[in-house]
Amino acid sequence: MPSKKSLHIESSGQLCIYCGACVGICPLNCIYLDETRITFDEKICTRCEICVKACPVGAIEIG
């Protein structure tokens, strides 16, 4: 199986403003917002990159 690209959500507060835009748009419902922490489910995420576009401040990167 080809390995997935890496997805990084900068949620330490340097970029992320905890707005939830990525959570709401994720078609697989695998991004979670817990007040000041955003996590995603590595296994479910297909790296569709929709959250990268939805993030207004560029806190989500795919490599």
Partner 1 sequence: MGQDRRTDVLVIGAGPAGSMTAKWAAKHGAKVLMIEKRQEIGSPVRCGEGMSKEWLGEVGIKPGKWINVEVEGARIFSPSEKVFEINEKHAGNEVGYVVERDGFDKQLAIDAANAGAEVVLKTAAVGILKENGKVVGARVKQFGETFEVRAPITIGADGFESQVGRWAGIPTNLALKDMDTCLQYRMTNVDCDIRYCDFFLGKVAPGGYVWVFPKDEGLANVGIGVQVSQIKTMAEARNYLDAWIAKHPGYAKGKKIDMVGGGVSISPPLKQTVADGMMLVGDAARMIDPLTGGGIANGCIAGKICGEVAARAVEANDASAAFLQAYEKGWRVRLEEKLYRNWLAKEKLCTIQDATFDKIVDALQGVKLDKLSVHNILKAVHEKYPEVTKEFEAFL
Give whole-number Cα distances, 22 to 2, 36, 46, 47, 62, in Å: 25, 14, 14, 13, 14
Position 20: which residue type? G
- Write out the two tokens for 35: 């007040």
**Interacting positions 19-38 with partner 1 (CB under 8 A):** 19-21, 23-25, 27, 29, 33-35
**Minimum gap (Å) between residue 45 Cβ and partner 1:** 15
**Minimum gap (Å) between residue 18 Cβ and partner 1:** 7
**Contact set with partner 1 (CB under 8 A):** 17-21, 23-25, 27, 29, 33-35, 50, 52-58, 60-61
